[in-house]
Amino acid sequence: MDIQFKSPIEMINHWAEIQGDKIYLRQPINGQYVDFTWKDVHQKMLQIAGSLRHLGLEPGDKIAVLSKNCAEWFITDLALMYGGYISVPVYPTANADTIRYVLEHSKAKAIFIGKLDYWADQEAGVGGDILRLAFPYDTMPAQYCWQKLLTMGQPLLNSPLPQPDDIMTLIYTSGSTGHPKGAIQTFESFAWTCQAVVRDLQTGLEDRLISYLPLAHITERVAIEGSSIYSGTQVAFVESLDSFVDDVKRAKPTLFFSVPRLWSLFQQNIIAKIGGEKKLNTLLKIPFLKSIVKRKIQQGLGLEHCRILGSGSAPIPPSLIAWYHKVGLDISEAWGMTENCAYSIINFPFNPSKMGTVGHAVEGCEIKQSEQGELLVKSPGLMQGYYLQPELNAVSFDEEGFFRTGDLCDIDKDGCVTITGRVKDNFKTSKGKYVAPVPIERKLAQDSHVELICVIGSGLPHPIALVQLSEGSMRQPREEVKSSLKATLAGVNPHLESHETVDAIIVVNDPWTVENDVLTPTLKIKRHVLEQRYSEKVDGIRGGQVLYEDEIE
């Protein structure tokens, strides 16, 4: 199916005209929905765009958005598109240094600030002469509040429609190394990808979406905001982390996308509520109880109405997908990057025989493998390049225009892709042998005590696995946890090459978080950070040991 270019603004005009009084956005405030119809959103889009003109901002200016997800995020994004501005989303968890870098590198003239958990710590990053505009939530001081923007000047009317090659947004990658890079996405790349998602998932007027993964990341922007714009679908938001489950239950989503770490946490909570994995397995073997248990699990998560579940952003252990499949929830794993609008490969419709792969290339996307085993991708969703980094652009594409993803892969006879690691993740031990850590991590992560794992070993005799335990495992007796991890290690090592065998598993003391710089905002592990922190500490530990960090001498 050929996808014809239609800008997001054309689509908003369309829905405001044909279903203007239907609810589009549902924002929970103090546990109650504040609803916005399609007509409300359209009118506010015109008004905010008009206020920006009134304040002297011109088409082509870059305007940043720093906020957690909310209805005003969508409205502002649409106003920026309509007014000809280039949006620069910033992660709501970004520290002051990152915020400062993104604002300075992009040359942003203004910033919308909104729902933030730690705005006092972030404010130092929003300095200089930049104009601050505030969403209607508790946030850092600003020159103009939302209510003022809704009454300032005149609505902007008859603004020219965005053209395919116009730059829509600069998406700064969260980056597990170095400064974030600004991927230039046009209206054409964004529109094509959103329409491809709607085409493949058959999203329609009766569906319901929930937006909670960061809108600063292209995945949420395409899969939730973008697909709603192109399908006329209703979107609800989450008020806070504490109200998350209640917000999901109230939204009754029919499509739900998450990341591996959250799927893992959901699993642990389910097992804890039921009284352990053994009890769950027993209940699932009793025919008349099986369907009741599955339904209760789905209801407990608020996902009983879902027809599609997805996972992306980082690799999810095949054992976790298999566990959800066992309890009646099929998770389609997908693969994408900021650079290709986050949608290229997906295991959908869900195929249980392809668990462990990220599926096949979507229609309109081409994939191939380089001689080194790197995954190369080409689609209409590809970025123009990195903002102000011509030297990087020169090496990011091959001679046929395929993007070098940096992911190592296998492609099976059916065209399904298994990600086997990152080109830059492979390290050399002190014996001069290269090790690919990701396949080893996947094998060890099948132990249910493991929440997060990172195999390090650059310059060490053999790899060492660093493990963050699941919440429930932290309360278990140490010897019980160590015994399980030791058995897992003993089961994995014989199947590895001699230079790959893992010398030890170290259970770390401190949780890995975005705040302590171990995780990116999309919850990917920064391997180089853990290498720096632990290499010297674990050097010398041998013999397949399992130790807690505080037991290391």
Residue 43 lies in a domain: yes
- Are 402 and 458 within one domain? no
- Are 90 and 220 within one domain? yes
- Are 211 and 265 within one domain? no
Cα end-to-end span (Å), the chain = 63
Can you tell me the distance from the alpha carbon of 341 to that of 79, in angstroms, rounded to the nearest whole number?
Answer: 20
The CATH number of residue 527's host domain is: 3.30.300.30
Domain boundary among 202, 236, 270: 236
Q: Count CB-CB contacts under 10 A for residue 160.
A: 10
pLDDT of residue 520: 84
- Are 163 and 54 within one domain? yes
Pick from 183, 213, 196: which is nearest to 314 by CA?
Answer: 213
Residue 206 lies in a domain: yes
Assess contact for 103 and 125: CB atoms under 8 A.
yes
Residue 244 lies in a domain: no
Residue 455 lies in a domain: yes
Domain boundary among 379, 399, 422: 422
- Are 383 and 466 within one domain? no
Provide the Cα torsion 265, 266, 269, 275; round to 10°: -120
For residue 194, give both structure tokens: 């959103």
pLDDT of residue 249: 95
Task: Quote the pTM value.
Answer: 0.89
Q: Count CB-CB contacts under 10 A for residue 343.
A: 27
pLDDT of residue 541: 87
Below-70 pLDDT ranges, the chain:
1, 174-177
Whose tokens are 């996405």? That residue is 185
Residue 246 lies in a domain: no
Residue 3 lies in a domain: no
- The 10s digit of each residue's pLDDT in 16-62 is 999 999 999 999 999 999 999 999 999 999 999 999 999 999 999 99
- The 10s digit of each residue's pLDDT in 117-155 is 999 999 999 987 899 999 999 999 999 999 999 999 999
- Are 348 and 485 within one domain? no
Residue 245 lies in a domain: no
For residue 247, give both structure tokens: 């917000």
- Are 415 and 534 within one domain? no
Domain range holding 270? 255-304+307-422
Domain boundary among 422, 456, 477: 422
Q: Count CB-CB contacts under 10 A for residue 543.
A: 6
pLDDT of residue 540: 82
- Are 370 and 489 within one domain? no
- Are 397 and 439 within one domain? no
Which regions of 401-449 does DSSP assign to beta strands (E)?
A: 403-411, 417-422, 427-428, 434-435
- Are 93 and 128 within one domain? yes
Counted domains in the chain: 3
Alpha-carbon distances of 301 from 232, 246, 267, 310, rounded to whole Å: 25, 9, 10, 14
| SS3 label, residue 91 | coil
The CATH number of residue 348's host domain is: 3.40.50.12780
- Are 57 and 204 within one domain? yes
- Are 162 and 263 within one domain? no
pLDDT of residue 43: 98
pLDDT of residue 177: 58
Residue 170 lies in a domain: yes
